[in-house]
Amino acid sequence: MSDPVLSVENLSTHFFTRAGVVKAVDGVSFDLAKGEIMGLVGESGSGKTVTGFSLLGLVDAPGRIVEGSIKLNGTELTTLSQEGLRSRRGREISMIFQDPIATLNPMLTIGQQMKLAIDAHERVSRRAGEARAIELLTQVGIPSASARLRAYPHEFSGGMRQRVAIAIALLHRPAVIVADEPTTALDVSIQAQILFQMRDLAAETGTAMIWISHDLAVVSSLASKLAVMYAGRIVEQGPTATLLRDPRHPYTAGLIASLPATATPGTPLTQIRGTTPSLLSLPPGCPFAPRCDRATDRCNETPQITFHERRGWRCFHPVGQNSGVSA
Amino acid sequence: MSNQSTPLRRFWAEFRENKIAVLALVVVVLMILLALFASVISPQNPYDLANLSLMDSRRPPGFVGSGGYTHILGTDPQGRDLLSAIFYGLQISIQIGLAAGLVSLSIGTALGITAAYVGGRIEALIMRLVDLQLSFPAILLALVIVALLGQGKAQLIGALVAAQYAYFARTAYGAAKAERGKDYIEAALATPLSGRLVVMRHLLPNCTPPLIVVATVQIANSISLEATLSFLGLGLPVTEPSLGMLISNGFPYMMSGRYWISVYPGVALIILIVAINIVGDQVRDQFNPRLRK
Amino acid sequence: MLGFIIQRFIQAAGVMAVMSVIVFCGVYAIGNPIDIVIPPEATQEIRAEAIRRLGLDRPLYEQYFIFISNLLQGDLGRSFVYNVPVLGLIGTRLPATLELVLISVLSATFLGVSLGIYAGYRPDSWVSKTIMAVSVLGFSVPSFWVGLILILFFAVNLGWLPAGGRGETVEIWGVAWSFPTLNGLSHIVLPAVNLALFKLAMMIRLARAGTREIMLTDTIKFARAAGLSESTILRRHLLKLISIPIITVFGLELGSTLAFAVVTETIFSWPGVGKLIIDSISVLDRPVMVAYLILVAFLFVTINFVIDLVFALIDPRVRHGVSA
């Protein structure tokens, strides 16, 4: 069993705003093996995007990483200098964003933007750079790549633009790609294409991926491992199939139950009652308690993670079989 | 955060955090009060010819005049007490600025909202006119109008309004148009509610924040523009000397070292305008959603 | 692209036409144009004769057409006051104004954008806060006041620079310019600073706001995520993205700077077109007023047209007719 390519332990990222401290990410831990695809699932405000930014050291003020360790290929990232982080971004770990229209600079050609990304880490001749760009564009499925180098972003459709972003992210064959809701802004038909393309790319290149999404259905078709986030913490994680079939945390169960695919036709869709809490005024103890049907007085304490057979969950009253295994 | 905070109170709480803005607001209020009570607090009525003596003219600050009192800021070429003249000048400058600002606000807002609400050819026509006007420098326009209409308070205000209503029109138009397109307006219009009600209760309140920002800037601009025109001799008539004219009166004396005749009215003018702008800046920052963290 | 140019050109021509009508009718229709030409004690006959000779008895629209046809032949009428062709009058004074305006605007833009980008990039440093505080002053203080202070300080108190007038000139291409000579430069400094201050403040604020906004966008985040250095991001991404709002304002401000030159020229006795127009307005020399306003309108329209062309050059979306 080789070392994990990315190892995150007890990561906490807090935002120090005028209204108070927002604990966007609060004690998150997970490992990522080479070539593994992990899904990071949660509603908006759960902290999944901030987790992604934290991994790349791109957290904007007034936020910063206050605690924890991020080990990429064995190097500790949280103690690196700005230059150290910069030299690893794009080369060992990359990120792609949700809205491909906002990601690419409309005033530079695709070729120019790819060249900038290449030059950030290597000195290559113009010809070699072009060749590499063409190679990658073809790999992500963009036809007539060499002609497209001179095109501007607005000449591409949304799906194509996202592919270009993926190509840029892959330029230096990073060990990890963080994909923040990459298909949410695209048409449903394109979504599936990009999804499977990325899965194949990951397999081809051996790149590990963290797929951030609010859509459990999308992620579960792709990821071999899931981590469910709520109010800044991971409440459950484990192999995808096991999680879906037999969830432990009530929130995970709720998410699965509310998927239209699991619903019985003709009956109202299941919902998780209540709304996500404001991160400024979290209740003491388990943050999900106010919305949970299984909550008791015990839940006023903060549950720690229970580990069992490559799975983990934070709950005093977990769901499902083997409920005898409680905290 | 208390749940009883009204938007106004929250606005004020955030405003208070910027000490400089609060200071500026105090200054503005102070100057308005000075202007309001100019006739009461001035040591000498500068426009009562009986008081003036040419013997006292162009005297430096601290001079004790023939009337018996100390001219704290000196006297001007006609022998007027500069401090008093400044108070009266403030009164006129603020009067003009406010009047021009408020009239421009009304006309511009009415035009802008009408254009956004009615749409079609009228919208195109109004906004073309507004755009044309916006690209033309205000000062030239004001100059020409004053020249053609002659000098006088009403004419000057008219010129200032003509030069500035376009800013209000454009702002109101933008805000109203954004709101107009929203579905709830369509829904409201489908009801028997009169269109005017929809405008007053929905479109108008939405335009208020940006209009307030523009209003503060434009009032400061009006004051500045009026001063400039008066300085050039094309503003108010000599009988109603604003701060601009006081400065203009003193200009020829600057070379010979009698700087106070121009400088002190100028300082008063600057303080007024800068204070208004600082307040306007703070208001604008607070209303801008994109800069809020 | 050609279609774009033609479309813009037609728009420009249309605006010019409308402006010329408004200006002409506005100036000639109000008041009595003849009043400054003849002494008040003139008899009715002399008055009527003068009116007829100047063509002021014809209906307004006829006057307008005569004016336009003359204009297209290069004749802008004769000044009521000086009784010389307006074109020549303006022509001799225009270079002085152009020189002043160009130097002011260019320096204000370069300096202002640089300072503004710094202030936007590091908004919390004390340097930035100082820059912003000073820019508020530059923005609010009326330019005639700044001119006064400049004269008071540099000319009267310190005696370093002259208080007015234009210095020695050098002829280039048959036109007199003053900046090539040291003496000429010393005369141009104060008025140029005066004129530039407002624009400088505006550019600083614009560049700062633009920088702050752009640095928060996904484009910049993505560039950072790809490992680009901050300096590369500033050079290759920020500068390109900020150029659009800067150039827009540059164009608008060029025109308004031309207008504000009238104040600066008056204070510093700079022999340009601005001083001419102030004098003409005071005495209601209508032909000069009309010619000047039309000239200004023409410059405006031309500037806008050129700006549109520049946009097409730098923003590929405009070239391809895509909405930004």
pLDDT in tens, B213-249: 888 888 888 888 888 888 887 777 776 778 888 888 8
| Residue C164 pLDDT | 73
SS3 for chain A is CCCCCEEEEEEEEEEEECCEEEEEEEEEEEEECCCCEEEEECCCCCCHHHHHHHHHCCCCCCEEEEEEEEEECCEECCCCCHHHHHHHECCCEEEECCCHHHHCCCCCCHHHHHHHHHHCCCCCCHHHHHHHHHHHHHHCCCCCHHHHCCCCHHHCCHHHHHHHHHHHHHCCCCCEEEEECCCCCCCHHHHHHHHHHHHHHHHHHCCEEEEEECCHHHHHCCCCEEEEEECCEEEEEEEHHHHHHCCCCHHHHHHHHCCHHHCCCCCCCCCCCCCCCCCCCCCCCCCCHHHCCCCCHHHHCCCCCEEECCEEECCCCCCCCCCCCCC
**pLDDT grade, residue A180 (50/70/90)?**
very high
CA distance A151 to A182: 22
Give A-chain residues touching B293 at CB under 8 angstroms: 17-18, 62
Q: How far apart are CA C167 and CA C184, in angstroms?
A: 4
**What is the amino acid identity at position B195?**
G
Q: For residue A243, name the pLDDT band (cuts at 50, 70, 90).
A: confident
The answer on pLDDT for A73 being more than 60 is yes
> Nearest 10 degrees: CA dihedral of A303, A307, A312, A316?
-30
Neighbour subunits, A (≥3 Cβ pairs < 8 A): B, C
Q: What mean pLDDT do residues B5-12 have? A: 72
**Measured between alpha carbons, how far is A233 from A289 in angstroms, rounded to an integer?**
14
Reported confidence tier of residue B66, pLDDT bands at 50, 70, 90: low
| pLDDT over threshold 50, residue A326 | no
What mean pLDDT, rounded, does chain A reach? 85
Q: What is the pLDDT of residue A116?
A: 92
Whether the per-residue pLDDT at A176 is higher than 70: the answer is: yes
Torsion A227-A229-A234-A235 (CA) sign = negative
- Of C43 and B103, the structure prediction assigns the larger pLDDT to B103
Residue B131: pLDDT over 90:
no
Residues of chain B contacting residue C148, judged by C-beta atoms under 8 Å apart: 247, 251, 254, 262-263, 266
Average pLDDT on A243-258 reads: 84
Q: Which of B132, B139, B254 sits opposite C259 (nearest CB)?
A: B139
Q: What is the Cα–Cα distance from A231 to B34, expressed in whole angstroms?
A: 56
Query: Which contiguous run of DSSP H or E holds residue B70?
Result: strand B70-71
DSSP β-ladder status, A208-213 and A93-96: unpaired
Per mean pLDDT, which range of A99-108, B124-133, B166-175, B191-200 is the poorest?
B191-200
* Res B227: pLDDT: 86
For residue C30, the SS3 value is coil
Contact A179, A98 (CB under 8 A): no
What is each CA distance from C312 to A56, B26, C5, C301, C318, in whole angstroms? 37, 48, 9, 17, 5
Q: In what order do the strands lie in the sheet with A63-72?
A: A20-32, A6-17, A63-72, A75-76
Q: Rounded to whole angstroms, how far apart are CA atoms C151 and A128?
A: 61
**Helix, strand, coil % in chain B, rounded to nearest 5:** 75, 0, 25
pLDDT confidence tier of residue B48, bands split at 50, 70 and 90: low
Contacts of B1 in chain A (CB under 8 A): 19
What is the pLDDT confidence band of residue C224, given thresholds at 50, 70 and 90? very high
Range in A133-147, B39-53, B82-96, B201-215 the model is least confident about: B39-53
Chain B contact for C258 (CB, 8 A cutoff): yes
**φ, ψ dihedrals at A174, nearest 5°:** -70, 160
The answer to whether C90 touches C76, Cβ cutoff 8 Å, is yes
What SS3 string covers C106-120? HHHHHHHHHHHHHHH
Q: What is the mean pLDDT of residues C248-275?
A: 83
Per residue in A296-314, pLDDT (tens digit) is 777 777 777 777 777 888 7
C238 C-beta neighbours (distance < 10 Å), count: 23
Does residue C181 contact residue C247 with C-beta atoms inside 8 Å? no
User: So what's the pLDDT on residue A117?
Assistant: 92
Mean pLDDT of chain B: 78
Q: What is the pLDDT of residue A13?
A: 92
Question: Which of B19, B134, B221, B231 is the best mutation test for C, with the most CBs of C within 10 A?
Answer: B231
Which residue in chain A is spatially nearest to B17 when comparing CA positions? A18
The pair of structure tokens assigned to B31 is 């100057």
Of C218, C237, C317, the CB nearest to A99: C218
Q: How many angstroms separate the most distant Cα atoms in chain A?
A: 67
ipTM of the modeled complex: 0.87
Local confidence band at A324 (pLDDT 50, 70, 90 cut-offs): very low
| Per-residue pLDDT at B58 | 66
pLDDT at A197 over 80: yes
Q: Which residue has the higher pLDDT, B64 or A212?
A: A212
Contact C187, C99 (CB under 8 A): no
d(CA C223, CA A37): 24
Whether residue C316 is predicted with pLDDT greater than 90 in this model: the reply is no
* pLDDT at residue A37, rounded to an integer: 92
Pairing of strands A311-313, A233-239: antiparallel
Cβ B228–C259 below 8 Å, yes or no?
no
pLDDT for residue B199: 67
Beta bridge partners of A26: A12
User: For residue A168, what pLDDT is reported?
Assistant: 92
Q: Percent of chain C scored above 70 by pLDDT?
A: 93
pLDDT of residue B53: 63
- Closest-CA residue to C142 (of B235, B159, B245, B223): B223
pLDDT of A327: 40
Of the residues C11, C141, C144, the best mutation for testing chain B's interface (the one with the most B CB atoms within 10 Å of its CB) is C144
Above 60 in pLDDT, residue A325?
no
Mean pLDDT of C286-296: 80
If pLDDT is split at 50, 70 and 90, which confidence band does B77 have? confident
- Determine which helix (DSSP H) or strand (DSSP E) holds C176, and give its type and residue range: strand C175-177
Closest chain B CA to residue A17: B293
**Mean pLDDT of all residues in B260-288:** 83
State residue B23's pLDDT score: 85
In a 3-state reduction of DSSP, which class is residue C85? strand
Residue B85 near residue B92 (C-beta atoms within 8 A): no
Say what percent of chain B tops pLDDT 70. Answer: 82
Q: Do A17 and B1 touch (CB under 8 A)?
A: no
Name the closest residue on chain A to residue B14, using Cα atoms: A18
**Nearest residue in chain B measured CA to CA from A16:** B293
Residue type at C6? I
Summarize the confidence of residues B3-26 as an average pLDDT.
75
SS3 B64: strand
Domains identified in chain A and CATH numbers: 6-223 (3.40.50.300), 233-313 (no CATH)
Q: Is the pLDDT assigned to residue A211 strictly greater than 90?
A: yes
Neighbours of chain C (3+ CB pairs under 8 A): A, B
Q: So what's the pLDDT on residue C223?
A: 93
* Cα–Cα distance for residue pair B258/B250, rounded to 1 Å: 8
Of A141 and C32, which is predicted with more confidence?
A141
Question: What's the average model confidence in pLDDT over C276-293?
Answer: 79
Token pair belonging to B143? 């100059």
Q: Is A62 on the interface with B (CB under 8 A)?
A: yes
Q: Is the pLDDT of residue A251 over 60?
A: yes
Stretch C290-312: mean pLDDT: 81
Is A62 within 8 Å of B1 when comparing Cβ atoms? no
Q: What angle do CA A254, A259, A260 make, to 5 degrees?
A: 140
Q: What is the pLDDT of residue A105?
A: 92
Using an 8 Å Cβ cutoff, are B58 and B253 in contact? Answer: yes
DSSP string, C195-206: HHHHHHHHHHHH
Q: Report d(CA A159, CA A198) in Å as an integer.
A: 13
Tell me the per-residue pLDDT of C138-167, one tens digit each, with 9 for 90 and over: 777 888 888 888 888 887 777 777 777 777
Look at residue A209 in the predicted model and tell me its pLDDT: 92
Whole-number pLDDT of residue B1: 43
Residues in chain B: 293
